[in-house]
Amino acid sequence: MTTHSPDADDPIVVEGLAKTYQVTDREGGFGAAVRSFVKRKYKDVKAVQNVSFRIGQGEIVGFLGPNGAGKTTTLKMLSGLLHPTGGKAIVLGHTPWNREAGFLSAMTLVMGQRNRLSWDIPAADSFLLNQAIYRISDADYKSVFGELNELLDLKDIMRKPVRQLSLGERMKCELAAALLHRPKVLFLDEPTIGLDVGAQVRIRAFLKEYNRRSGATILLTSHYMADVTALCERIIIIHHGQLKYDGGLGDLSRRIAPYKIIGVAVENCEACDLSAYGQAVPNPNEDGKQYIQVAASEVSAVTARLLAENEIQDLTITDPPIEDIIERAFHE
Amino acid sequence: MLNIFKRFWQVNWAEQWQYRANLFMYLAYWLVSPIVYLSVWTTIANAQGGVNGMSASDFAAYYLVLLPVDIATAAITIHLFASKIQDGTLSNFLVQPVHPVLVNTLVTTISFKVLQLIIFVPIWIGLFLLFRPPLTITFESALLAIPALILGFMLNFLVDSTITLIAFWTTRVWSIHQLYWAIGAMLGGSFVPLSLLPGVIQSVARFSPMQLWLYFPIQLILNKQTPADMALNFGLQVFWLVIMFVIFRATWTAGLKKYSAVGA
């Protein structure tokens, strides 16, 4: 497992962070409701348990896990919305849940499923409000807006009331509004959720370029593996509130799935028996090829045998799909 | 800070013009009860030749002054903020470096109030022509009313906001607020001028914060406060303002802790 090597200037430092929610626990029905009124039973839900990691300046880290794994809870603790029940976190030198103005002015939280812009007025008005809230000088505002406009092409959409924008247009405005104060740390919770493929690609390209230009540190959650492969060299996997993996994406596939997928098109044979070479796997591309799974260490030997013993028209060797790898990592 | 207020004001103004119908409905809602009380009391006074020394035109003067005072000092935090706590949109405001209540809600309230007062002017002129009460306003009483209205509004805002913060602990904050509103209408002088209340209730009302944003400014404008009354009421306004600010801050801190414990 490779992790980021500690540095005193790391903008995000998390040590033993934990969050336990207390929820009321009762069965359905009238009797249970009355019993609960007299004596309420509580159940502890451990949303995050003893999670530690450090993120270095300028890194983009993918924070992955199935629904309910504790990702959003962790992001909310790191952005100061939740008090943890244990452990500590330092973001840009501040304890997030103290919500000091210096901290709030230097970070941003974007939640793809939540609307922060005012619904009834054009985004341009909300931008000006943010300029005042974050005390951005006119000169700085002009320069940062020019930059965001260049990357996101905002000019035509920011004059329409937000409720009349498409989801993709709205997300562009949400991101721009969240970045006007040039935050040094970005917490992005599902920033591309619900967007069509084209809009997803544009948001990804924007985030990558923004990170390159500003050197901002980004921690993002997403259920779209394309977001992760396009943006993150490093991922952190969390499941049932516990840290499962922290390291490079490539290392994970080598560790979790030390096998490759070989696709072959054999002359005059669309469904030959290739079980002697490896385990058959479903064809992901519907391209007329047959696919087998082969241990990484045996790939060259198996390929040589395939070529020697069959009339091969086409042959490809690929890594297993990232979704499969992540899914395996969750349950390992 | 002034710049933040200015921008919030601009945005709120733009938002509220988007909802012009809402603005008129709210104003109508605000005016209905006092106009009903005005009609009832003037009718009774006319029939009986006065109530406890107040003539029909005294009632008309009282309620015609009450209407703008009520708009000027009204607090609407419950309408603006309770749902934000309940549905979690408060989180959007908590990640920004300004206070969601003391900046955001406060400016929204003031801009809404100013718009309402602008729309209210022609309505007030119409009511004045209808009742033609003898208004005993002087330049001095109008001038003194300004600090009384500002302090009264701030006090009402803090009380209303503190009650709204109960939403951190219960989803039934609206019924608690309704109860508070009814008590406030009685102790503030909205149902009936305080001088007509039974002795014990009148004594409670005199020292309650509610009359400080309604009955006191009305009497001040109508030039019916002795210098001693005035000194006492201004003193009470400052006293309650300090107390309520401390209670508001404590409730806010405790509420945020609760909010961030259960999952913002």
Q: Which residue has the tokens 């951190």?
A: B168
> What is the pLDDT, as a whole number, of residue A2?
47
Segments of chain A with pLDDT less than 70? 1-4, 37
Q: Which of A42, A120, A130, A136 to mutate: most B Cβ within 10 Å?
A: A120
Query: What does DSSP assign to residue A5?
Result: P
Question: From CA A227, how far away is CA B79, in angstroms rounded?
Answer: 40
Question: From CA B133, how far away is CA B110, in angstroms rounded?
Answer: 29
Q: Classify the phi-psi angles of A212: left when phi > 0, otherwise alpha if psi is within -120 to 50, otherwise beta.
A: alpha
Cβ atoms of B95 and B246 within 8 Å: the answer is no
Mean pLDDT of chain B: 90
Cβ atoms of A15 and A52 within 8 Å: the answer is yes
Question: From CA B68, how far away is CA B81, in angstroms rounded?
Answer: 24
- Does A160 touch chain B if contact means CB atoms closer than 8 Å? no
Cβ atoms of A127 and A181 within 8 Å: the answer is no
> What is the pLDDT, as a whole number, of residue A1?
47
Segments of chain B with pLDDT less than 50? none
Cβ atoms of B259 and B101 within 8 Å: the answer is no
> What is the pLDDT, as a whole number, of residue B264?
57
Taking the CB of residue B57, how many other CB atoms lie within 10 A of it? 16
Contact B95 A76 (CB under 8 A): no
Cβ atoms of B244 and B162 within 8 Å: the answer is yes
> What is the pLDDT, as a whole number, of residue B150?
97
The model's pTM is 0.83
Interface of B with A (CB under 8 A): 3-4, 6-8, 10-11, 14-15, 18-19, 89, 91-92, 94-98, 257, 260-264
Contact A76 B91 (CB under 8 A): yes
